[in-house]
Amino acid sequence: MPSERVTPNPMGRSRHPTWRAAALAMALGSACTPSNLREWRPEDHDSGATSTGAVAEAPVNDDPLAAARGVFAAQCASCHGASGHGDGPMAAMFHPADLTTPTWQASRTDDEIAASIRNGRGAMPAFGTQLRSEAIPLLVQLIRSWRR
């Protein structure tokens, strides 16, 4: 059937918006550098410095538990060790458990962990009045992040 030959290929049509976007980007590029107004040449494509490198190298602070790590290092690591293994400098006196083991992690709910931090437990002092209330759920999350 001859009519099939003139039917436009839908894949071909779908490229048109991309071409228009490229032309628009070029036009905007020229508008930003009026001193450079002339016909675009292929070698221009590679010559200019772009900002993408700087964006890619920008430092990212994507650690949502940074505050909890700070509190733990200051208030808890002396007994629990920096990563909760129960090996801080005061561990020999207080014998805290290794909070990272699967056995220990499975033995407590988040609420039980929060309650121990708030109210103390055994030889561990209560922190409910020393910590801002937002800190306790974050400390629970930090301790959960150590689950092996």
**Site for ligand HEC, rule CB under 6 A:** 72, 75-76, 78-80, 90, 94-97, 99, 108, 112-113, 116-117, 121-125, 127, 139, 143
Contacts of 30 (CB under 8 A, 6+ apart): 36, 37, 40
Residue 36 or 107 with smaller CB distance to ligand HEC: 107
**Minimum distance from CB of 111 to ligand HEC (Å)?**
10
Q: Give the Å distances, CA to CA, from 68 to 47, 60, 85, 101, 137.
A: 47, 18, 16, 20, 9
**Minimum distance from CB of 63 to ligand HEC (Å)?**
17
Residue 65 or 124 with smaller CB distance to ligand HEC: 124
d(Cα 135, Cα 86) in Å, to the nearest integer? 21
d(Cα 117, Cα 146) in Å, to the nearest integer? 16
Residue 13 or 101 with smaller CB distance to ligand HEC: 101
Contacts by 129-133, CB closer than 8 A, 24 or more apart? 130/75, 131/71, 131/75
**Minimum distance from CB of 88 to ligand HEC (Å)?**
8
What is the three-class DSSP state of 130?
coil
**Minimum distance from CB of 100 to ligand HEC (Å)?**
11
Residue 29 or 70 with smaller CB distance to ligand HEC: 70
